[in-house]
Chains A and B, each alone.
Chain A
Amino acid sequence: MDAERHSYRVNHLAQLESEAIFILRETAAQFERPALLFSGGKDSIVMAHLARKAFHPARLPFPLLHVDTGHNFQETLDYRDRYVADLRAELVVAYVQDSIDQGRVQEEKGPFASRNSLQTVTLLDAIEANQYDACLGGGRRDEEKARAKERFFSHRDDFGQWDPKNQRPELWNLFNGRKHHGEHFRVFPLSNWTEMDVWQYIKSEDIPLPSLYFSHRRDVVHRSGALLAISEVVEPQPGERVEEGAVVRFRTIGDMTCTGAVYSEAADLDTIIHEVATARQTERGTRADDKRSETAMEDRKKEGYF
């Protein structure tokens, strides 16, 4: 009996993988035109890896959609193109620059301008133009308080908005993706994963990552409590402290204007996992976009942010 019990044990990573694959397949089955939101960040990389496993040996039954702010790290774009080629997946890119050129959004002015909030409009436009009815996102409930109540199948009205009081209950393995015309869903297969789970999974599956996640030297500027990489879109202002060749890495990867680096010597997965285990700040603590107010994430979610 003990031997039998032992053989049916499923460890935490296998349980989370099994659940995420179930959600990915359910999305393919319940929706007509799903897409997987791919940013080149580790969560979307893990999601694409899980999708590959879910539909093996067939190709992914949906495209990858990248919302390009135009302020991406070049390393991210290079990685994206390599990974997509390896997956033999279809890639659709929606450009924030196009939304600006079409007058759909106004670019923020001044030295601290960020295109982060503009992404929402570009995303919603891309959803409408391509008639996507479900977008798979890499959001996790442990990331931020407003996400703790997010569903796997998150219903959005025809304005793309999230209403925290009008979400469908999710019981057992039963997910209700029924919708009216014009409505769509965001689907989060990694809902139950923590940052640590993601790193452990990357290690146990040996998934390649963009080099930004590993320790490297970079010129940075200290701005509102974050370390931003100096680039053509982040230029040091008078009075700001600049550090040349700082030894840093990124815990999350997003728009260059709001993704902060952390000091780190962690150059491989084992040291990163050790660092995450002993970290005293959440990974969103490095994100300038969440620092705008205590309910910043909740407000952005309601508007249709991931």
Chain B
Amino acid sequence: MTPLDDSYLNMDLLRFTTAGSVDDGKSTLIGRLLYDSKSTFEDQIEAVEATSRKRGDERVNLALLTDGLRAEREQGITIDVAYRYFATPKRKFIIADTPGHIQYTRNMVTGASTANLAIILVDARTGVIEQTCRHAFIADLLRIRHVILAVNKMDLVDYSEQRFTEIVEDFKRFASRLDSIVDMVAIPISALHGDNVVEKSQHMDWYEGPTMLYHLETVYIGSDHNHVDARLPVQWVIRPQSDEHHDFRGYAGRVAGGVFRPGDEVVVQPSGFSTRIKTIETYDGPQAETFAPLSCTITLEDEIDISRGDMIVKQNNPPQKGQEIEAMICWFSESTQLSPNSKYYLRHTSKEVKAIVKEVRYKVNVNTLHKIEDDKTFRLNEIGRISLRTSAPLLYDSYRRNRATGSFILVDSQTNETVAAGMIV
């Protein structure tokens, strides 16, 4: 056997989300990516073949590769967010597979919250429809910078270049109103037959762009984290209380933005005390720097009272601090509704506070993007803007500037359920 080099230990990781309705062939596309990139195993393929035969499908139904729970198999639809994994020699991929119908808006929001890239599927026969706009709006709202517009079922429109161009123009007209999306690539595909998914299509010579997999493997995602505004939300204080480490106080957390190095002048919020970073500690020895999104432990020159929920930041670049919060939210609860004066627990970075809804500014019709100002109650899957007052100050940035310090969830104090996702304006 040839010895392996170690490059496989050092790959990029790309997280992407897929949005599209059952009929757009989303599950078939994911099945095709897994199958053609040889990320599926014999026992999985055998199980799918057996199920396809039992259902009387004409060909092996690749969509079944991604069908998770029994209820979904019975109903033939996807009802939650499922995570799939595959790798090529260049990158590892995590797919957040979410259903696209309007009743699953919350699932799309969930899947999008951790994604670098969104694949928006369009049926070449129907073109850009309401739900395409909704998917693009959600990708933009959640600040996904990279979008692939996958025009699927090209085989059913005779692989027509003209049809493809029309759809792309329609989409661009709409997407020009969305400013988070800095990079959009449109690809004509047939997930069913495999055209331009992993292999280049034999039917569309007019298309000179990348296949979907090639684009996923090469799109530049290195600048997706904020490396400007240094933010370390303290998650846990490490105090060994052993003879060996008698005075050790380590502040552990995941860097939410920027870069920290030993010697940096830092301020601990909300107390406002300033000090310097003494060391960046790890099990593998001291480090020269740490940055988003790494988990780290730092020690400080001065002994300061610091606990979970505090934030360590750089001297001349503080986050915003306040109790009046303006935010876009998506409502997640089936059983309860949000309206002015509702109270919740609010979780933001490593902090939890109480929050009261001061005002519902407006809701958004997610199909037309029109504002709704005469209905102040949020029901399941509704998106809009509210203002909140918190019981203690939050240390935050706008979501546009930093996903990690600009996002929060609302938790129902009776049921403990997560009832809303919030993005600070």
Q: Bound pair: A and B?
A: yes
User: Is B113 part of the contact surface with A, judged by Cβ < 8 Å?
Assistant: yes
Give the interface centre of B11, B281, B345 by most chain A CB atoms within 10 Å: B11
CA distance A12 to B12 in the complex (A): 5
CA distance A173 to B351 in the complex (A): 12
The residue in chain B whose Cβ has the minimal distance to the Cβ of A279 is B41
User: Inside 8 A of A303's CB, which chain B residues have their CB?
Assistant: none
Q: Is the CB of A29 within 8 A of B235?
A: yes
User: Is B400 part of the contact surface with A, judged by Cβ < 8 Å?
Assistant: no
User: Is B271 part of the contact surface with A, judged by Cβ < 8 Å?
Assistant: no
Q: Which of A8, A22, A281 contacts B42 (CB 8 A)?
A: A281
Min CB distance, B62 to chain A, in Å? 14
Min CB distance, B363 to chain A, in Å? 20
Q: Is the CB of A178 within 8 A of B248?
A: no
Q: Is the CB of B347 within 8 A of A176?
A: yes
Q: Which of A12, A25, A149, A172 contacts B252 (CB 8 A)?
A: A25
Instruction: How many A-B residue pairs have C-beta atoms within 8 angstroms? Tell me.
Output: 187
CA distance A13 to B12 in the complex (A): 9
**Interface bits A34-70 vs B (CB < 8 Å: 1, else 0):** 0000000000000000001111111100000000000
Give me 11 other A-B pairs in contact (C-beta within 8 A), A52-B283, A174-B409 excluded: A11-B11, A11-B13, A57-B281, A58-B248, A148-B84, A169-B418, A172-B403, A173-B404, A174-B347, A200-B8, A279-B41
Please choose the segment from A101-109, A128-136, A229-237, A270-278 that sits at the chain B interface, where 4 or more of its residues have CB less than 8 A away: A270-278
Evaluate whether A169 and B297 lie within 8 angstroms (CB atoms) in the complex, with A178-B416, A279-B41, A282-B43 already known.
no
User: Inside 8 A of A29's CB, which chain B residues have their CB?
Assistant: 235-236, 308, 350
Q: Which of A274, A281, A285 contacts B1 (CB 8 A)?
A: A274
**Interface bits B69-85 vs A (CB < 8 Å: 1, else 0):** 11100000001111111
User: Is B421 part of the contact surface with A, judged by Cβ < 8 Å?
Assistant: yes
Q: Is the CB of A148 within 8 A of B223?
A: no
Q: Is the CB of A273 within 8 A of B295?
A: no
Q: Is the CB of B252 within 8 A of A54?
A: yes
User: Is A217 part of the contact surface with B, judged by Cβ < 8 Å?
Assistant: no
User: Is B411 part of the contact surface with A, judged by Cβ < 8 Å?
Assistant: yes
User: Is A196 part of the contact surface with B, judged by Cβ < 8 Å?
Assistant: yes
Q: Is the CB of A204 within 8 A of B404?
A: no
The residue in chain B whose Cβ has the minimal distance to the Cβ of A169 is B110
Please choose the segment from A90-98, A111-119, A139-147, A253-261 that sits at the chain B interface, where 4 or more of its residues have CB less than 8 A away: A139-147
Q: Which of A18, A56, A285 contacts B43 (CB 8 A)?
A: A285
Q: Give chain B's interface residues, CB within 8 Å of chain A.
A: 1, 3-4, 8-13, 41-44, 47, 51, 66-71, 79-85, 87, 91-92, 94, 106-107, 109-110, 113-114, 222-223, 225, 227, 235-236, 238-242, 244-245, 248, 250, 252-254, 256, 259, 281-284, 291, 293-295, 297, 308, 332, 345, 347-350, 403-404, 407-409, 411, 416-418, 421
Q: Is the CB of A168 within 8 A of B418?
A: yes
The residue in chain B whose Cβ has the minimal distance to the Cβ of A203 is B9
User: Is A289 part of the contact surface with B, judged by Cβ < 8 Å?
Assistant: no
The residue in chain A whose Cβ has the minimal distance to the Cβ of B259 is A8
Evaluate whether A180 and B236 lie within 8 angstroms (CB atoms) in the complex, with A22-B254, A54-B252 already known.
no
Evaluate whether A282 and B87 lie within 8 angstroms (CB atoms) in the complex, with A12-B11, A54-B295, A176-B418 already known.
no
The residue in chain A whose Cβ has the minimal distance to the Cβ of B65 is A145
CA distance A298 to B284 in the complex (A): 39
5 A/B residue pairs, CB under 8 Å, sorted by A: A12-B11, A12-B92, A15-B13, A58-B242, A285-B41
Q: Is the CB of B222 within 8 A of A142?
A: no
User: Inside 8 A of A167's CB, which chain B residues have their CB?
Assistant: 80
User: Inside 8 A of B91's CB, which chain A residues have their CB?
Assistant: 12
User: Inside 8 A of B71's CB, which chain A residues have their CB?
Assistant: 164-165
User: Inside 8 A of A281's CB, which chain B residues have their CB?
Assistant: 41-43
CA distance A180 to B282 in the complex (A): 36
Q: Is the CB of A149 within 8 A of B240?
A: no
Q: Is the CB of A53 within 8 A of B408?
A: no
CA distance A28 to B282 in the complex (A): 18
